[in-house]
Amino acid sequence: MNHPRHDPLTPEERALAERLARIGPHDDPPPSLDAKILAAAHAAVAPSRRRRWLALTSVPASLITGRGHGRGAGAGRRRGVAVASSIRPGSRTPRRGR
Amino acid sequence: MDLTMTGTPPFPPGAPGGFTWPAPTRNLPRMNAADASDDVLMLAWTAGDTSAFEMLYARHRGPLYRFLLRQLRDNALADEFFQDVWQRVIAARHGWKPEAAFSTWLYRIAHNRLNDHWRGLKHRPPAPEDGDERAARVPDPTTPERELSEFEQRRRLQRAIEELPEDQREAVLLRLEQELSLDEIGAITGVGRETVKSRLRYALDKLRARLSE
């Protein structure tokens, strides 16, 4: 126990506690049960497969995306203008440098 | 930062149950493993340090298992409840606050699980047929006369505990086996200190009477 003890056992309680300890049971949980619980505790705080997969794939994906943007930045901007114009025919075409 | 932890496990390697003492924790600062409080271990585990859970588990597995076994008197059921309680601990780990002692929280979960069970059954099963036999198996190197007397005393105490009403038995076991304070027992069982005191008084009176027969 971590917290300071209040109400220490009375002598009568202490004597009974000792007798009770001798009666038992003295059993411990079976090792297979220990293994199950420890595995569950490990799994609960371990990064999930999905998160691991995302972590593994997100970096290369962002690198590829970034590279793509860098290469075709001008073309992308031009394509964006074309799409915007087609959606709103009456709207003004944004000027570069604004 | 030195991550090495030193210290003695609560029981030696190869102790009954074959539980292996966990490896040093990864994330805790330099400290003595045996001295790390439950609260520190719980916080470390929720932050991702699985060896902190192993230490916490090693500390509480035996007492909790025996508490359940004494209440249920059935190894298969005790196994099932023990697993349930730890699964609830794992699932509710983020709900635990350091203001509450870990052991109080743990035994409260066990208490709730047992309550569900008793409510489902509506009554406790009768004392096991092999109660006397189990009491007789406890080794005790003494003289034959004294052995007989002590066997009788053990048998009486075991019977007396088994005959107590659930709430009194739980209170007396938490008090005598776990050495919890009245306030801690109250927090676990969801009643006030005076009620705990009253349950303990009734239980001890009955035990005293049974043992002096």
pLDDT per position as a tens digit, B171-195: 999 999 999 999 999 999 999 999 9
Q: Which two tokens stand for residue B115?
A: 């309550």
Q: Rounded mean pLDDT of A29-38?
A: 95
Q: Cβ–Cβ of A41/B53 closer than 8 Å?
A: yes
Q: Cβ–Cβ of B15/A28 closer than 8 Å?
A: yes
Band (pLDDT 50/70/90 cuts) for residue B12 is very low
Closest-CA residue in chain B for A44? Answer: B90
- ipTM surpasses 0.85: no
A27, A32, A36: which to substitute to probe chain B, counting the most B Cβ within 10 Å? A27
**So what's the pLDDT on residue A91?**
42
Res B56 pLDDT > 60? yes
Cβ-Cβ pairs closer than 8 A, A with B, add up to: 124
In whole angstroms, what is the distance from residue B178 CA to residue B181 CA?
Answer: 9
- The pTM for the full model equals 0.67
User: Is the model more confident about A8 or about A47?
Assistant: A8
In whole angstroms, what is the distance from residue B10 CA to residue A17 CA?
Answer: 20
In whole angstroms, what is the distance from residue B97 CA to residue B39 CA?
Answer: 9
Q: Rounded mean pLDDT of B137-163?
A: 71
Band (pLDDT 50/70/90 cuts) for residue A53 is low
Residues B110-138: tens digit of each pLDDT:
999 999 998 887 655 555 556 556 555 55
Q: Rounded mean pLDDT of B58-85?
A: 94
B63 touches chain A (CB under 8 A): no
Most confident of A15-29, B16-30, B91-105, B167-181: B167-181
**So what's the pLDDT on residue A76?**
44
Closest-CA residue in chain A for B183? Answer: A6
Most confident of B2-6, B121-125, B152-156: B152-156
Residue B31 backbone phi and psi in degrees, to 5: -165, 170
Q: Rounded mean pLDDT of B46-57?
A: 91
A35 touches chain B (CB under 8 A): no
Angle, CA of B114, A34 and B139, to the nearest 5° = 80
Q: Rounded mean pLDDT of B195-205?
A: 96
**A7 Cβ partners below 8 Å, 6+ apart?**
B181, B182, B183
**So what's the pLDDT on residue A81?**
41
Q: Rounded mean pLDDT of B83-96?
A: 93
**So what's the pLDDT on residue A90?**
42
Nearest CA to B183 out of B62, B71, B100 is that of B100
Asked whether B185 and A9 are in contact (CB, 8 A), the reply is: no
Percent of chain A with pLDDT over 70: 43
**So what's the pLDDT on residue A79?**
46
Band (pLDDT 50/70/90 cuts) for residue B106 is very high
Of B57, B62, B181, the CB nearest to A6: B181
